[in-house]
A and B are shown apart, each in its own frame.
Chain A
């Protein structure tokens, strides 16, 4: 895309500087002086930031407009803001179905993410700490699960779930969301590095059972990995579309992603839905975007565990 190509190469190209003069590296750190190349680098990085922020900014502006202004006024500036009116429309349309969708998304992502994290932690810990029969088989299956595209599974899952009568229930989305092979993989790596043998030995000498050790000591030691896995899984479920699309037919069970596309695809016949789709899209990215900004620092430190050895 033309929009994305400029920042691709130039930032690094711009950082190609002549080697520093000897006087510049007193105290062993490069001096952050004002150099032309540095200004260029920051400028290009800012252009890249504009690329990533532009659609979100457009959404913010568009969510304040009336349907007429949406098509009739310049897209990147405000025109007769009527935000509260628009947002109240989103929440009241069709008996407040948007509330259902929000609640469902929270339910699927929250409960599914939490259970997936707990299961992945237990399995990853066991794979890291015990030498048991079948360990290699389980680990190989986990890796195969990581590499298998989840949407290639969605259709087979639907065939199976409709056979056993689980299709179009909350379980149809929740059960597959509880399984995270990548989470197991991350937890195993983290447990290998972070759970000290001496701690386990000491606890056993004190007479603690394996489950007690896990519930008290291990879970606490593995908290950073747990947060990482939970966030991955939460975002994954929240963003998931294919699975609920094939599983659910009752629109009161839809998550936000699925609900908004039904509005979008019906907007041809009901033009007011354009505005509702935009308002709903804006509301739907608020919680995740906020969480993303707050937690990215923490997430980054957790991610290191996975990527370093990945």
Chain B
């Protein structure tokens, strides 16, 4: 993953700040970096190491009937094989993958369409609409889930109410639909934020390019597809990576929706599963193993996405 981003970075890096050297650069630089690095070690590296260590342990019961005091023993990879044998845990991964394959493209398509459309509007209108689209980003995920929960439950929801009056009976919380109801919450929260990242990228396109396209007789539609979209690519990569990471972490939304429907189980997503192992089943060793697996899968997927995108970019350039 590091190589993927740093490769694009090196290309854009200006040579000027590079050759700078003060009398004792190492000492001054480490002075600046150290506070961050120390906390990073304490909150990223150490917990991960500790989780790996815990994931290799298991409680051992002593006494003839196993009723004696529990001690902790070495488990090897038992917790990992246990986690990977639980069909509920594996299903939770399949579920978030399916969720991501549908939700991320829909959200990024919506964000891109909104960004490109706003780019053709006059300034005043675009500002008002942009603010409206961006507003949900200021609503915490759990609050958004509570809100949409009320909008899904028959009896409170004006949406169900209105659709009922025209003879429809939507079931937002059914076995097949609840995953997409959760996807809707996530799209609602983040489409505007992703749109803003793309808008920022579009603003960076030099005005001459638009002029040139117009002189060549390109329509607004052609300009959007052939010029703006390819140039917005870095923003799309950035939002894509963050969406993949976010999808794997799915937790608050299903947890809040859970009391409203029996179809959301306590191991609906990998994170919920690990949380449940730790706090409901008190098996922190298995929970640690599940957390480590989740971190691994997340790194593999985001790294894989970045290298895939970069490889294709290299091929296009040739």
Contact = CB atoms under 8 A, between A and B. Distances in A.
Contacts of B51: 155-156, 159
Interface string A293-306: 10010011101101
A225 interface: no
A245 B28 CA distance: 39
26 contacts: A4-B187, A7-B113, A8-B110, A28-B214, A42-B121, A44-B117, A48-B110, A48-B129, A56-B136, A75-B156, A122-B32, A126-B28, A145-B40, A160-B46, A160-B47, A211-B31, A257-B141, A261-B146, A265-B259, A284-B143, A289-B135, A292-B134, A292-B137, A304-B200, A304-B201, A309-B8
A142 B130 CA distance: 32
Interface centre among A2, A119, A189 (most CB of B within 10 A): A119
Interface centre among A132, A156, A246, A309 (most CB of B within 10 A): A156
Interface string B17-38: 1111110011011111101110
Interface stretch (A9-17, A84-92, A93-101): A9-17
Interface in A141-196: 141-145, 147-153, 155-160, 163, 175-176, 178-179, 181, 184, 189, 192-193, 195
A200 interface: yes
Interface of A: 1-5, 7-9, 11-12, 15-20, 25, 28, 30, 32, 41-42, 44-46, 48-49, 51-56, 58-59, 62, 70-71, 74-76, 119-120, 122-123, 125-135, 138-145, 147-153, 155-160, 163, 175-176, 178-179, 181, 184, 189, 192-193, 195, 197, 200, 204, 210-211, 214, 235, 238-239, 241-242, 245-246, 256-258, 260-261, 264-265, 268, 277-278, 281, 284-285, 288-289, 291-293, 296, 299-301, 303-304, 306-310
A120 B36 CA distance: 7
Contacts of A292: 131, 134-135, 137-138
Nearest to A309: B12
**Chain B contact patch, size range:** 35 or more
A257 B302 contact: no
Nearest to B140: A239
Given A45-B117, A52-B188, A296-B196, A76 B158 contact: yes
A3 B117 contact: no
A291 B203 contact: no
B81 interface: no
Contacts, number: 370
Interface of B: 1-2, 5-6, 8-9, 12-14, 16-22, 25-26, 28-33, 35-37, 39-40, 42-48, 50-51, 54, 106, 109-110, 113-114, 116-118, 120-122, 125, 129-144, 146-148, 150-151, 155-159, 161, 170, 180-181, 183-184, 187-188, 191-192, 196-201, 203-204, 211, 214, 217-221, 224, 234-235, 237-238, 241, 245-246, 248-249, 251-252, 255-256, 259, 271, 274-275, 278-279, 284, 287-288, 291, 294-295, 298-299, 302-303
A178 B19 CA distance: 31
Closest A-B pairs by Cβ, 4 of them:
A75-B158, A156-B51, A1-B184, A126-B32
Given A149-B298, A241-B142, A71 B155 contact: yes
Nearest to B277: A155
B36 A156 contact: no
Majority secondary structure, B binding face: helix
Contacts of B16: 197
Given A241-B141, A308-B201, A135 B29 contact: yes
B107 to A, nearest CB: 9
Given A123-B37, A265-B259, A48 B137 contact: no
B189 to A, nearest CB: 9
B44 A12 contact: no
A189 B142 CA distance: 32
Contacts of A245: 275
A152 B133 contact: no
A114 to B, nearest CB: 13
B288 A143 contact: no
B146 A264 contact: yes
A231 to B, nearest CB: 10
B251 A19 contact: no
A20 B120 CA distance: 14
Nearest to A50: B132
B271 A242 contact: yes
A155 B294 CA distance: 11
B232 to A, nearest CB: 9
A241 B252 contact: yes
Contacts of B274: 155
A288 B156 contact: no
Given A292-B137, A308-B234, A132 B201 contact: no
A54 B39 CA distance: 41
Contact of B1 (A131, A147, A152): A147
B160 to A, nearest CB: 9
A179 B295 contact: no
B132 A281 contact: no
Nearest to A44: B117
Contact of B113 (A11, A20, A62, A310): A11
Contacts of B129: 45-46, 48-49
A130 B25 contact: yes
A30 B126 CA distance: 16
B247 to A, nearest CB: 9
